[in-house]
Structure 1
Amino acid sequence: MDFLCWGVTALLLFSSLDAVRCVSVHISNEGPVYVIPGSALLLRARVEYGPLEAVAEVAWEREPESGAPEGRVRLAACPGGSSRCTGARANVRASVEGHESVLHLSGYGRADGGVYAVTVTDHEGATSTARCIVREYEAVHHVTVSINASHSALVCGEAWGTEPHFSWLHERAAVTPAVGAVSEDGSTLVVTKAPLCGHFTCIVSNRLGYSAATYTAAPCETGAISGTTLALICLFLLQIVGGGVAFLVWRRKRKRGGRQHERLDERV
Structure 2
Amino acid sequence: MDLHCFLCWGVALLLLLMPCGHQCLSVRILNQEPVYVIPGSSLVLRARIEQGPLEEISMISWERESETGVDPGKVTLATCPGSSLKCAGTRPNVRANAEQKETTLQIDGYSSTDSGVYAVTLTDHKGAETTAHCIVRMYEAVHHVSVSINVSHSLLVCGEAWGTEPHFSWLYERVAITKTVGSVSKDGTTLLVTMTPFCGHFTCVVSNKLGYSSATYTATPCETEGRGTTAAVVCLVVLLLLGGVLAFLLWRRHRHSSRGERLHEHLDDTI
1:12 aligns with 2:14: no
1:183 aligns with 2:185: yes
Higher mean alpha-carbon deviation, 76-85 vs 95-104, is at 76-85
* 1:260 counterpart letter in structure 2: G
User: d(CA) in 2 for partners of 1:15 and 1:170?
Assistant: 73
* 1:257 counterpart letter in structure 2: S
Note the aligned Cα RMSD (angstroms). 2.6
What does 1:108-147 correspond to in 2, within 5 Å?
108-147=110-149
1:220 aligns with 2:222: yes
The answer (yes or no) to whether the contact 1:35–1:137 under 8 Å persists in 2 is: yes
Structure 2: which 5+ residue stretches go unaligned?
Answer: none
Deviation at 1:231, TM superposition (A): 3.0
Structure 1: which 5+ residue stretches go unaligned?
Answer: none
Instruction: Mark the CA change 1:256 to 1:37 in structure 2 (over 3 Å): closer, same or farther.
Output: same
User: d(CA) in 2 for partners of 1:233 and 1:220?
Assistant: 19
* 1:235 counterpart letter in structure 2: C
* 1:94 counterpart letter in structure 2: A
The answer (yes or no) to whether the contact 1:137–1:162 under 8 Å persists in 2 is: yes
What does 1:48-67 correspond to in 2, within 5 Å?
48-67=50-69
TM-score when scaled to structure 2?
A: 0.85
SS at match of 2:46: strand
**How many pairs align?**
264
The answer (yes or no) to whether the contact 2:59–2:85 under 8 Å persists in 1 is: no
User: d(CA) in 1 for partners of 2:241 and 2:69?
Assistant: 84
Deviation at 1:242, TM superposition (A): 1.5
User: d(CA) in 1 for partners of 2:83 and 2:71?
Assistant: 30
What does 1:1-268 correspond to in 2, within 5 Å?
9=8, 12-17=11-16, 18=18, 19-67=21-69, 70-222=72-224, 224-227=225-228, 230-231=230-231, 234-235=234-235, 237-239=237-239, 241-261=241-261, 263-264=263-264, 267=267
SS at match of 1:160: coil
Q: Among the aligned pairs, what percent are the same residue?
A: 55
Higher mean alpha-carbon deviation, 86-95 vs 255-264, is at 255-264
* 1:201 counterpart letter in structure 2: T
Deviation digits for residues 49-97 of structure 1, max 9, x if unmatched? 1112111211111111134674211111212521312322222221101
Deviation at 1:132, TM superposition (A): 0.4
Deviation at 1:42, TM superposition (A): 0.9
Deviation at 1:237, TM superposition (A): 4.7
Higher mean alpha-carbon deviation, 183-192 vs 97-106, is at 183-192
Instruction: Mark the CA change 1:180 to 1:118 in structure 2 (over 3 Å): closer, same or farther.
Output: same
User: d(CA) in 1 for partners of 2:200 and 2:14?
Assistant: 74
* 1:65 counterpart letter in structure 2: E
Deviation at 1:240, TM superposition (A): 5.0
SS at match of 1:77: strand
Instruction: Mark the CA change 1:131 to 1:210 in structure 2 (over 3 Å): closer, same or farther.
Output: same
Instruction: Mark the CA change 1:68 to 1:48 in structure 2 (over 3 Å): closer, same or farther.
Output: farther
The answer (yes or no) to whether the contact 1:20–1:51 under 8 Å persists in 2 is: no
The answer (yes or no) to whether the contact 1:58–1:80 under 8 Å persists in 2 is: no
